[in-house]
Amino acid sequence: MRLLDRYLLGELLVPLFYCLAGFQIFWTAFDLFGHLDEYQGLGWTQVGGIYLLKTPELLTTVLPIALLLALLYTLTHLAKANELVAMRAAGISLARISVPFFAVAFFAGGFLFVLTEFVAPQATAKADRIKKSGSEKSSEWLENLHFKDDRLDQHWHIKKYNPVTGDMEQPSVDWTQDNIRTVVDAATGAWTNGGWTFRYAERKTYSPANSDLPTSVIATNILEGKKLGGSPAQLRAEIRIAQLDQLRAAKQLQLSLWEILEYTKLHPEMKTSKAPMIETQFHGRIAQP
């Protein structure tokens, strides 16, 4: 049966390749002419790099369609040449004939999952950096970040944050517990040994919480915030979702399951303004091939 499997795979993979290539050329040309104004100032090499990095995002849409069309073409060709009749006459069941096709489908599904979870988000981010600055190696530092950790009821304010290294400048964490408000301000922060380490930090305590003046101020060179939430992975998910455009998110999937799950660790009850958009992304990822 190996000869039959190789034959059927060859009959399917050739039209699949042509379908994928055709969709790629059509989509690239259509998108390029629709966004020429955004690429002003970029060279052809940079524009080509953008579309190369966008390929994983495209494959999540066109691969299922291309596979369907290629399979329809293959079955039509086999039926027209009476090859299916010959296989059935040789005692081969339809289930056995379908094995190579199902194998390709399962492989394509697994490939798409890996692509959307681990490749497409980073590739899309690099493409956006090239579009904005002309280089995918532009500065990773993000400025003026604000978010809330609903799980620990902590408000974070970060002047500058590097999502690659996890380093931050001028972080501030504010939370209230038992009518006592605590504010931690620091010059720098870094993720070490499973927790945040703040340098040149100042811890202010307000009791009661609505007091205007702190009841105690403790300054220290190093402050380890073991009880502070927001790991680097959760911060990356928070930043990624905070930068989402609602209109684009409604039209295409932009988040991986990992990013959504990390975000729910910060917001377990999803009481945020972006909850409907995130739920749409989540169900879209589940329904995706």
pLDDT tens-digit profile, the chain (289 residues) = 688 899 999 999 999 999 999 988 888 888 888 878 878 778 888 888 888 888 888 888 889 899 999 999 999 999 999 998 899 898 899 889 999 999 999 999 889 888 888 887 778 777 777 776 655 554 567 788 887 777 777 888 999 988 778 889 999 999 998 889 999 999 999 888 878 889 999 999 998 888 888 899 989 898 886 667 667 877 777 777 766 655 455 455 667 777 777 777 767 776 666 677 777 777 777 776 5
Judge if 117 and 148 occupy the same domain: no
Q: Please give the Cα distance from 40 to 128 (Å, whole number).
A: 14
Judge if 218 and 250 occupy the same domain: no
Judge if 129 and 7 occupy the same domain: yes
Q: Pick from 204, 225, 246: which residue ends a domain?
A: 225
Judge if 61 and 125 occupy the same domain: yes
pLDDT tens per residue across span 151-202 = 777 888 999 988 778 889 999 999 998 889 999 999 999 888 878 889 999 9
Containing structural domain, residue 157 = 144-225
Judge if 240 and 273 occupy the same domain: yes
Domains contained in the chain, number:
3
Flag whether 139 is in a domain.
no
Judge if 29 and 125 occupy the same domain: yes
Q: Pick from 195, 225, 255: which residue ends a domain?
A: 225
Q: What is the pLDDT of residue 15?
A: 95
Beta strand pairing call for 188-192 and 154-161: unpaired
Flag whether 138 is in a domain.
no
* pTM across the whole model: 0.65
Judge if 66 and 15 occupy the same domain: yes
CA distances to 80, 106, 130, 134 from 74, in Å:
10, 18, 40, 43
Judge if 88 and 211 occupy the same domain: no
Flag whether 151 is in a domain.
yes
Q: Please give the Cα distance from 149 to 255 (Å, whole number).
A: 20
Judge if 114 and 185 occupy the same domain: no
Judge if 10 and 77 occupy the same domain: yes
Judge if 122 and 17 occupy the same domain: yes
Percent of the chain with pLDDT over 70: 87
Tell how many helices (H) and how many strands (E) occur in the chain: 9, 7
The enclosing H or E element of 218 equals strand 216-225
Flag whether 39 is in a domain.
yes
Q: Pick from 74, 100, 133: which residue ends a domain?
A: 133
Q: Please give the Cα distance from 116 to 286 (Å, whole number).
A: 12
Flag whether 149 is in a domain.
yes
pLDDT tens per residue across span 112-145 = 888 888 887 778 777 777 776 655 554 567 788 8
